[in-house]
Amino acid sequence: MAIPAALVFVPVGVLFLVSGLIVNLIQLVFFIIVRPFSKSLYRRINKNVVELLWLQLIWLIDWWACIKVNLYADAETLQLLGKEHALVLSNHRSDIDWLIGWVMAQRAGCLGSSLAIMKKEAKYLPIIGWSMWFSDYIFLERSWDKDEKTLTAGFKRFEDFPMTFWLALFVEGTRFTQEKLEAAQEYAYIRSLPSPRNVLIPRTKGFVSAVSHIRSFVPAVYDCTLTVRNNQPKPTLLRMFSGQSSELNLQLRRHKMSDLPETDDGIAQWCQDLFITKDAQLETYFTKDVFSDLDVHQINRPIKPLIVVIVWVCLLMYGGFKLLQWLSMVASWEIICLFVVILVIATITMQVLIQSSESHRSTPAKRPLQEQLISA
CATH number of the domain that residue 200 is part of: 3.40.1130
Q: Say if 323 falls within a structural domain.
A: no
Q: Say if 321 falls within a structural domain.
A: no
What phi and psi, each to the nearest 5 degrees, are found at residue 129?
-70, -40
Q: What is the pTM of this model?
A: 0.88
Q: Say if 369 falls within a structural domain.
A: no
Specify the 3-state DSSP secondary structure of 183: helix
Percent above pLDDT 90 for the chain: 67
Q: Say if 37 falls within a structural domain.
A: yes
Label the pairing between strands 86-90 and 166-169.
parallel
Q: Say if 316 falls within a structural domain.
A: no
Question: Which band of pLDDT confidence, cut at 50, 70 and 90, is reported for residue 240?
Answer: confident
pLDDT at 366 (0 to 100): 42
pLDDT at 332 (0 to 100): 60
Measured distance CA(339)–CA(335) in Å, rounded = 6
Query: What sign does the CA torsion over 173, 176, 177, 182 have?
Result: positive
Q: How many domains does the chain have?
A: 1
Q: Say if 312 falls within a structural domain.
A: no
Torsion of CA 132, 137, 143, 146, to 10 degrees: 120
pLDDT higher than 50, residue 35: yes
CB atoms within 10 A of CB 345: 16
Instruction: Provide the edge-to-edge strand list for the sheet that holds 296-298.
Output: 138-140, 114-119, 166-169, 86-90, 220-228, 247-256, 68-72, 296-298
CB atoms within 10 A of CB 69: 21
pLDDT higher than 50, residue 269: yes
Q: Say if 176 falls within a structural domain.
A: yes
Measured distance CA(26)–CA(31) in Å, rounded = 8
Q: Distance of CA 318 to CAs 104, 312, 313, 321, 325, Å?
A: 33, 10, 9, 5, 11
Interior angle at CA 177, CA 174 and CA 179, nearest 5 = 105
Stretch (H or E) spanning 189:
helix 178-190
pLDDT higher than 60, residue 6: no
pLDDT digits (tens, 9 = 90+) for 350-372: 666 665 555 545 544 444 454 45
The mean pLDDT value for 270-278 works out to 96
Q: Say if 368 falls within a structural domain.
A: no
Host domain of residue 240? 5-304+354-361
